[in-house]
Chain A
Amino acid sequence: MGERETRSGILTVFLLCFLWGNGALVAHAREAAPGATNHTRLRLVSDSLAVEPGRMLRLGLLFDLDPHWHIYWINPGDSGEPPSVSWKLPPGFQAGGIEWPAPERLPNGPLTDYGYEGRVLLMSAIRAPQRISVQNVMLAADVRWLVCSDICITAKTSVSLDLPVQHTTPRADAQVASLFRATGARLPRPAPVRWRIIAEDEGKTFQIRLKAGARITHASFFPLDFNEVENAKPQNSVPLATGVEVTVYKSDQLLKPIGQLRGVLTVDGGRAYQVAATVQHASPVAN
C-alpha cells in the first residue's frame, strides 16, 4: 500500500514536471476544485502534442483521487455511478466513448462496488476531420462524476486543452505516453478466438469455465450487466490444466434465466478480457 502510494507519488511528480514544462498541455487546462471539496484533481491530457488533420488522437481524463476515495466503473456494482463526459469539440471532430480500464473490487460493508482508487485515466478516441482551417483547436469536455469514500460527493467541471494543428505526427512526451500505454494495458481486450468460455448454471452459482489452452492460476470476473451476479459474495477461482474456473454467486434479483453472462475477466492479476459466456444449464436438479 505504502509502496504503491510512493510510486504513484513519484509518477505524479514526474508528470507534473512534464506538464509544467509543456505549455501546450496545461495552458488552458482548468482543473476541478482541489481536494478539499471533491477529493479529486482532474486534468485533461493528450497522447499527442498536436492535432493532425484526418488522424486520431487519444484524450484522457486523468483523475487523481485522495486516499480512500474512489470513482466507479461502467457497472458501478451495488452503489454509485460511473463518470460521464460530454465533449465540446470543434466542428468535424468526433469522440468515441470512454474506454474503461478493468476495475477493482471495492468492498463496503455488505456491499461491493467496482471502480478505481488513486490515479485513473479514462481515455477516449478523438478523430480529427480531414480539413482544419485554424491553427489551434480547443478540445473541451464537461465532466460529471461521483466520488465516494464513506460518503459520496457529486462533482462537475469543465476541462479543456488547446492544441496546435500540425501536418506531422507529433509524439507525446515519454511520461504521458507511458501513462496512456499503462492504461491501454489495463483495457479489457477481446477474448482470443481460440478461447472457449461457458457459464454453467448450478442453481445458486454460475461456474464460469474458460478453456484457454494453458493453465491459468487465477481469474476474477466483473459482470457488465446489473442484477446477474451477487457483487459482494466471494468468488472462487480454481486453476485448470487448460484454463481456469471461476465460481460466482447469482444475484438474488436474477429471476429469469439468461443466455449469456457478459463481463470482464482479469487473469493472473494482469491482463483483462471482454468475455461473453454462454450459459449452460448443467442439470435439472441444480440445487
Chain B
Amino acid sequence: MKTHRTVLVTTILIVLSVPLRAVRVGETAPDFAATDSNGQSHTLSAYRGKFVVLEWHNRDCPYTHKQYASGNMQQLQRKWTARGVEWFTVISSAPGKQGYVTADEENAYVRQVHAAPTAVLLDPDGKLGRLYEAKTTPHMFVIDPNGTLIYDGAIDDRPTTDVSDVPGAHNYVDAALTAAMAGQPVQVSVTRPYGCSVKYARE
C-alpha cells in the first residue's frame, strides 16, 4: 500500500535535487570548456575521434602522491599519449585549499615530477569537477572516440597510500584503454574511486 504522503515526499526529494543529470558509463560524457596551465582553452567536443582521459589531481594528497612518487602516473601518461590519447590532469582544489596551484606553480611541478599529460586543466571554481562528480584524487574517467564514457572510477584495485602497492596493482585505466583500443569491451567499467576528497570551494 502506498500512501499519498510517500508519493509527495518522493516528489519533493526529486524536485529539491534537480538537476538529476548523471555522468554515466555508456552515455555521452558531458562537454566542457576549461583552461590549461598554459592559458590554452580546451573543450571535450574538440577531441571527438580520440580517446580522452581525465585524471583528478591534488599533489599533496597521499593517494596522488603514491601514483607520482612511484612514477606510475607519469608512465601511464607517456604510454597512452604516445598512442594518441588526450590525457587531461584536472585540478579542482579551490583557492586556499590543499592542492590549489597557480599556473606557474603547476608548470614547475609538471617539469619537476616529469609528468606528461596533454595538459593540466585548472578548475579552481570546481565547475568541471562538479560536472563530472569527481569525488577523489585520483578519480579517473576514460572517454572513447565517440564521446561515450567508458570508464569511471579508481586508478587501480589497491585503495591504499602505500607506494609498494603500485607494482602488484591491477590498473583499471590501463586495462580500459587497452581493451577499448583493441575494439574489445571494457571488462571493469565502474569502480569506486578511492583517495582524498576533491577540495572543492564550499557551496
Contacts and interface: CB of A to CB of B under 8 A. Distances in A.
Interface of A: 78-81, 108-111, 113, 146, 148, 150-154, 202, 204-205, 207, 226-227, 233-234, 236, 238, 245, 247, 249, 252-253, 255
A81 B160 contact: yes
Contacts of B33: none
28 contacts: A78-B136, A79-B194, A79-B197, A80-B197, A81-B160, A109-B202, A109-B203, A110-B203, A146-B161, A148-B197, A151-B61, A151-B196, A152-B63, A152-B196, A153-B62, A154-B62, A154-B161, A202-B10, A204-B20, A207-B10, A226-B192, A234-B17, A236-B9, A236-B13, A238-B9, A249-B17, A255-B24, A255-B26
A192 B194 CA distance: 34
A132 B59 CA distance: 50
Contacts of A110: 130, 133, 200, 203
Nearest to B17: A233
A207 B195 CA distance: 30
Contacts of B153: 253
Interface string B58-76: 0011110000000000000
A191 B55 CA distance: 41
Contact of B195 (A79, A236, A247): A79
Contacts of B34: none
Contacts, number: 93
A245 B196 CA distance: 33
Contacts of A152: 61-63, 196-197
Nearest to B98: A151
B164 interface: no
B62 A234 contact: no
Tell me what chain B mostly uses at the interface: helix, strand, loop, or mixed.
loop
A154 B135 CA distance: 19
B108 interface: no
A148 B58 CA distance: 15
Given A109-B197, A207-B6, A252-B24, A81 B203 contact: no
B97 interface: yes
Given A78-B135, A79-B197, A247-B10, 17 more contacts: A79-B194, A79-B195, A109-B201, A110-B130, A146-B161, A148-B197, A151-B60, A151-B61, A204-B20, A205-B13, A226-B192, A233-B17, A234-B13, A236-B9, A238-B6, A252-B22, A255-B190
B6 A245 contact: yes
9 closest A-B pairs by beta carbon, nearest first, are A252-B22, A226-B192, A79-B197, A109-B200, A152-B196, A151-B98, A78-B135, A154-B161, A79-B136
B192 A227 contact: yes
A79 B134 CA distance: 10
A150 B160 CA distance: 19
Interface string B1-35: 00001100110111011001011111000000000
Contact of A79 (B17, B60, B196): B196
B194 A81 contact: yes
A252 B25 CA distance: 9
Nearest to B14: A204
A253 B194 CA distance: 14
Nearest to B25: A255
Contacts of A202: 10
B16 A234 contact: yes
B23 A252 contact: yes
A151 B98 CA distance: 7
Interface in B158-203: 159-161, 190-203
Contact of A150 (B23, B25, B98, B194): B98
